[in-house]
Amino acid sequence: MGSIVILLFLTGCANNSPNNFELSDLAKSDIDSVTDMHIQELHKLCRQLTIKLYKRNPRELAKAPAGTTVEQRLAQLFSDQRIKGFRELDGAKSTAAITLSFDEGYRGDRVFALMAGISSMLYAAYNHQDEFFILDEIDQQKLYNSARNLETVSWQLNNRKDSNGERYILSNGTASNGIRNLSYERIFGKMISLQDMMALLIADTTNRNITRVVQSAASMTFLPI
């Protein structure tokens, strides 16, 4: 846990800096500040992944309402609609929306379904909060489960195919010169590491245990959030 202690120390120093101080910091613990940093990083990674997937799968954006842009999709993904579920997805959210994106019968925007599922799942793991304060609590098991679910999503992106043998959503691939593009996998790796680190941090500070689940990344089921 040495790296965590160092991170907390550095965060505390940053909060005490006159140039970075805000009144809201008075209501935050070091853990809250670290949690906020993790959430901000997850938002950034989700945005990057969404943009990359639309570039790789322009056919999916073409299924959206006429004139819809990637920026508009991003605005939707991080709106409060994450809690209620999107009408376009018949209210499906979290792992249900992820499952929909790999359903052969689905005719909508698969990238949107996938990212709506990922973003709402991560949002749920943080109690539907974008910012934490002293009295707020967080469940280490939800964080751990979300990391395992991300591993499952990453596997499905690379391996799930329709009845014609085509991947539902294109991501990692190999260029004509034989060089593999693993940039999507790296983004998932970063998100998984963030969730695992937060799960360990919360478990350590609250003296609660994480129930570790042995689940293959190739599993077709997701853990509850």
Q: What is the pLDDT of residues 26-46, one digit of tens each?
A: 688 999 999 999 999 999 999
- Of 42, 49, 61, residue with least CA distance to 183: 49
User: Measured between alpha carbons, how far is 113 from 96 in angstroms, rounded to an integer?
Assistant: 9
- Of 66, 71, 68, 65, residue with least CA distance to 51: 71
Q: Considering the domain boundaries, does residue 118 fall inside one?
A: yes
Q: Does 221 have pLDDT greater than 80?
A: yes
Average pLDDT over residues 69-80: 97
- Spell out where the chain has E strands: 173-174, 180-181
Q: How many CA atoms lie within 13 A of 200 on its CB side?
A: 12
- The reported pLDDT for the residue numbered 127 is 97
Q: Considering the domain boundaries, does residue 223 fall inside one?
A: no
**Model pLDDT for residues 41-63, shown as the tens digit of each residue:** 999 999 999 999 999 999 999 99
Average pLDDT over residues 191-195: 98
- The reported pLDDT for the residue numbered 218 is 74
Q: Considering the domain boundaries, does residue 191 fall inside one?
A: yes
Given a contact cutoff of 8 angstroms between Cβ atoms, the answer to whether 188 and 150 are in contact is yes
Q: Considering the domain boundaries, does residue 218 fall inside one?
A: no
Q: Does 25 have pLDDT greater than 80?
A: no
- The reported pLDDT for the residue numbered 216 is 77
Q: Considering the domain boundaries, does residue 42 fall inside one?
A: yes
pTM, whole model, 2 decimals?
0.86
- The reported pLDDT for the residue numbered 22 is 60
Q: Considering the domain boundaries, does residue 43 fall inside one?
A: yes
- The reported pLDDT for the residue numbered 21 is 53
Amino acid at 99: T
Q: Does 18 have pLDDT greater than 70?
A: no
190 class by beta-carbon count within 10 Å (0-12 exposed, 13-18 middle, 19+ buried): middle
Given a contact cutoff of 8 angstroms between Cβ atoms, the answer to whether 120 and 93 are in contact is yes
Chain mean pLDDT for the chain = 89
Residue with tokens 């959210």: 93
Cβ neighbours of residue 174 under 8 Å, at least 6 residues apart?
A: 180, 181
Q: Considering the domain boundaries, does residue 61 fall inside one?
A: yes
Q: Considering the domain boundaries, does residue 178 fall inside one?
A: yes
Average pLDDT over residues 72-97: 96
Average pLDDT over residues 81-106: 96
- Structurally, how many domains does the chain consist of? 1
**Model pLDDT for residues 144-154, shown as the tens digit of each residue:** 999 999 999 99
Average pLDDT over residues 9-34: 63
Q: Which residue has the higher pLDDT, 64 or 4?
A: 64
**Model pLDDT for residues 98-144, shown as the tens digit of each residue:** 999 999 999 999 999 999 999 999 999 999 999 999 989 999 999 99
Which structural domain range is residue 142 located in?
28-206
